[in-house]
Amino acid sequence: MEKSRSGDLLMIRLRDGEDLLEGLSNALREEGIDSGVIIGGIGMIRGAAVSFYVGKGEYATRPVVDAVELCSMSGNVSMSDGELALHIHVTVAKRGGAVLGGHLSAGTVNMTAEIAVLAAGQKLVRRVEPDTGFKTLKFE
């Protein structure tokens, strides 16, 4: 992993073979960022899992085994039950042009992933909404 920070903007480059979610989490912890916005990410991933919310806190997850282009990545960084929580949505493209999008549940960097995070000035937290079972974003 390589990273560079200027003020609230953190740029991260993850290398081939790094777990994308783990590498991003490690970079955020090293920089002391526990609330922020993932403003973009591009590169390639393999062994990915993309999930879709189906209700009552449950997700349906689709594995994406082959390497895919990471065309778009956005989301937020918050705390949930004292742990760092990443809520990331992606759009990935398969060879041939088929596109898949959803919540990124897993992925290994294939060659490179370049990610930009903007640290938030306010505290972002996730708490379960009783009526949906979904952990929604709250502001402290």
**Domain residue spans of the chain:** 2-139
Report pLDDT digits (tens) over 11-61.
Answer: 999 999 999 999 999 999 999 999 999 999 999 999 999 999 887 768 899
Rounded Cα distance, 7 and 119, in Å = 9
The predicted model scores a pTM of: 0.94
Q: What is the pLDDT of residue 58?
A: 82
What fold, for 2-139?
60s Ribosomal Protein L30; Chain: A; (3.30.1330)
